[in-house]
Structure 1
Amino acid sequence: MPLSERQLAAFADKHAWRIPFDTSPRHLAGPGDARHVTHGLAAAGWSPTSDPLSAEIVLRSPDHRHSLQFDPQSATSAWWRLRAEPTGIEPGWYAEFGELVPAEILAGLTDALVAPAPAEPADPLPALEAAGWLIDGRGAAVSDPPGCRVERRSEKGDGTVPWREPDRASWHIEVRDHPGPFAAGPRIWHAWFDGNTPEHLVTAFITTLADSAPLQRGMYDRTAHHGVVQKPSPLTPEQVVEAHAARLAGIRRQTRVVRRQPEAVTPPAKESTTRSTARR
């Protein structure tokens, strides 16, 4: 279902009267507008499958393999859940994100998901090191100043699914309040990628997370922490709306190009008693 003119106008109406403020660091910017994520997927041809009168939103990809769920009434700390069903040649995978994850950071992942996968995906840690994060040499990185931690953890395969490697690496991201140099306060939001998540998607999320550029928030928008820094943005409200429209137009063009390419023949999916969507 393509985006309607009414939906685009509703986004423009909301942001046209808001004075944007540069908000940093971006991991504390707050959730922002979820339509950065949902509009991008809709522009790529994803369709809603949830009850339109429900607070829950479920979008599914045109091939029915991928789905994104947003549930603001979730009984857990995960409000966003992204799933991929297994195919005959690729494993299924699962990722989840907390309530206060900035929509623009999550959109960095979903934009990469609907784009062609790179031939050689990059490891996420060099992007963090280039952004000035502190790397401890054990697969973990901490923002400077502290507050956000990215960690790669090894997982042992259970041997029941033939496509899984014996050792896999899941990725854990946590943003916490840091009241002092030696204390870690309550968790603000988290992200978790299971060991089968394609590495280029993890890299896209972490690269967007580590970007030093501020995110734009309105004067009264919810942020994730009182320590966030805000100042008037050089962008006008009109430019914020235009940037959103230009991004969606780019996704539409990209989707049309991909659809014109010959489709690869995928073997039928194998049945498995193991699901890759297990939650923590």
Structure 2
Amino acid sequence: MRLVPVSEQQLAQFARTHEWRIPFDASPRHLAGPGDARYVTHGLATAGWKRTSDPLSTQLVLTSPDYRYRLDFTPGNGMFAWWRLWAEATETERSWAAGFGEFVPAEILGAFTDALIAPPPQRHSTPLDVLDAAGWLIDARGAASSPDATCRVERHTDRPDDPRAAWHVEVCDPDRPRSRLWHAHFDTGTPVHLVTAFVTALADPAPLQRGMYDRTALPSVTQQRSTVTPEQIIEAHKTRLNSLHALARAARRHSTTAAAAPASSAAARPAARR
């Protein structure tokens, strides 16, 4: 199975990383640790995003085919964001940016970047609707806290009825409330369906698979031997990439067709009589 532009060599390297590991289920997932960054980067690459940074640099920069989006991955960036995504303004949408800390699980961040590739849903819930349905505690200010009280999601806006809110996610050690483990921030221009995709993955009760010696956000994270095999992890990765590649191709065809339609209509219109 070959995915374009993710090469056979890149897929083989991913497989070599995971085929020898014994998977453990880590929960809650927001404390599972960063996991494999290729969950994010392979997903974008198979949708046509290109590396535009120096190949010898520790910083990775991926740029979307239309050059509107840019993702920066800067490992070792202290307490600041390791991942940053920028979106340029268009005729119909304002510019926006999002940032994510070191220990954000790649699978949760991947839900956000996958939603960039997929077409926006016709109907979607708000982030707080999703968290409320998942059993998170919603306080009087409209902020949501996870059942274990380690994760908090807040909506920031000057007016309660303003749809252009900023969203902030913070994960802390419950024994040290001010010790931030990781964060995510979405500024006021971020489309709500993208934030919803992120919090949907965040609140999913299903554990994430990690290797025995992988870093987790807290040493106390519950881990038990998984029923998921290394082969299933590798195959699921390939299947997801195939799906994203198909979505990206369909989106490009739709964009090309939509752009050609006005031109065709104009060409078919009879010339005005003089």
Q: TM-score, normalised by structure 1?
A: 0.87
Q: Could you list the per-position Cα deviations for residues 168-201 of structure 1 after superposition, in whole angstroms to 9, with x for gaps in the alignment?
A: 310010000011xxx6240000000001100000
- In structure 2, the residue matched to 1:224 is 217
| Aligned residue in 1 for 2:49 | 46
Q: Does residue 93 of structure 1 match 2:96?
A: yes
Runs of 4+ in 1 over 6 A off after TM superposition: none
Q: 1:76 Cα shift?
A: 5.1
Q: How does 1:6-85 map to 2 (within 5 A)?
A: 6-74=9-77, 77-85=80-88
Amino acid corresponding to residue 256 of structure 1 in structure 2: R
- Cα distance, 1:57–1:92 mapped onto 2, change above 3 Å: same
- The answer to whether the aligner puts 1:168 opposite 2:171 as a matched pair is no
Aligned-residue offset at 1:203: 0.2
User: Counterpart of 2:216 in 1: which secondary structure?
Assistant: coil
Q: Which residue of 2 aligns with 1:244?
A: 237
Closer, same or farther: CA 73–104 of 1 in aligned 2, 3 Å: same
Tell me if 1:150 matches 2:170: no
Residues 55 and 73, structure 1, Cα contact 8 Å, conserved in 2:
no
TM-score by length of 2: 0.89
Measured after TM superposition, the shift of residue 258 of structure 1 is: 1.7
Structure 1 residues 5, 167: CA separation in 2 closer, same or farther (over 3 Å shift)? closer
Q: 1:129 to 1:167 in 2, by over 3 A?
A: closer
**What's the counterpart of residue 122 of structure 2?**
119
The structure 2 residue matched to 1:207, chosen from 182, 200, 207, is 200
Task: Work out the CA distance in 1 between the residues paired with 2:68 and 2:142.
Answer: 30
Richer in helix (by share): 2
1:146, 1:167 → 2: CA distance? 27
Query: Unpaired runs of 5+ in structure 2?
Result: 260-274
In 1: Cα distance, 2:31 partner to 2:94 partner:
33
**Is the contact made by 1:155 and 1:195 (CA closer than 8 Å) also made in structure 2?**
no
SS at match of 2:165: strand
- Structure with the greater alpha carbon radius of gyration: 2
Match of 2:173 among 173, 177, 197: 177
Could you tell me which residue of structure 1 aligns to residue 254 of structure 2? Answer: 261
Superposed CA RMSD in Å reads 1.6
* Structure 1 residue 118 displacement after superposition: 1.4
Please, which of 168, 176, 185 is the counterpart of residue 192 of structure 1?
A: 185
Find the aligned partners of 1:2 and 1:169 in 2 and give their Cα distance: 36
Q: Which runs of 5+ in 1 are unaligned?
A: 157-164, 266-280
8 Å contact from structure 1 (residues 155, 167) kept in 2: no
SS in 1 for 2:252: helix
Q: CA deviation at 1:130?
A: 1.5
The correspondence for 2:226, drawn from 228, 233, 236, is 233
2:263 equivalent in structure 1: none
